[in-house]
Amino acid sequence: MWGSKSSSGGLVVPTILLVEDDYNTRFGLGEILSSEGYDVVLAKDAYEAIKKVDRKTDLLLSDLQIPGMSGLELWHQMSHQYPALVSIIMTAFSTPEIKLKAEESGVFSLFNKPLDIDQLLLGIENVLHQNKLNASNIFNEGNVIESRFN
C-alpha cells in the first residue's frame, strides 16, 4: 500500500496519532489501524497528544470532544507547530456549525460516529495520499526553482 522508501531503504509507514477519550474506541480503532499497516500512537486526551506528536506524525485522528480542549483546538495548535500534519476529526455531535468550523480550520474530513470503518479507512488513505502528493509537488517545484538559478 505504501511504496515510498526511507533513507535506510525500508518502506515508510504512515504514523497516525489517534486521540480518543473512550478506552474501547481508542484501543479498538488503534488495533484496526495497526492491522491496516499504520504506525499508531494512542492518546486519551489533548495533553497526552501534545506530548506524543512529533515530526514523524502524518495524521491527527481525533475525537471532537476530548478532555483538555476540543479536537479542533488541538488541531489548530498542532497545525501551526507541524505544518505537514493533516487532520481528520470524528464526532457524535455533528452540526452545520461544527462542519463549517472544521472546514475553516483546514480539517481534511469530519466523520460522524458511530464510525463506518470502511469509509474512515478510505478517508485516511485519501488524506495521506493527497498529503504525499502535495509534499512531492512542493519538493519538485523547489528543484525546478533551484535549477533555474544554478
For the chain, what is the mean pLDDT?
Answer: 87
Alpha helices in the chain (DSSP H): 23-35, 46-52, 71-81, 96-104, 117-148
pLDDT, position 136: 59
Cell numbers representing residue 80 in the block: 501551526
13-50 pLDDT, tens per residue? Answer: 999 999 999 999 999 999 999 999 999 999 999 999 99
- Which domains, and CATH codes, for the chain? 15-144 (3.40.50.2300)
Q: How many CB atoms lie within 10 A of CB 37?
A: 11
What's residue 140's pLDDT?
42
Q: Provide the CA 126 distance to its chain's centre, in angstroms.
A: 11
pLDDT in tens, 68-90: 999 999 999 999 999 999 999 99
Q: What is the distance in angstroms between the CA of the first residue and the CA of the last residue of the chain?
A: 37
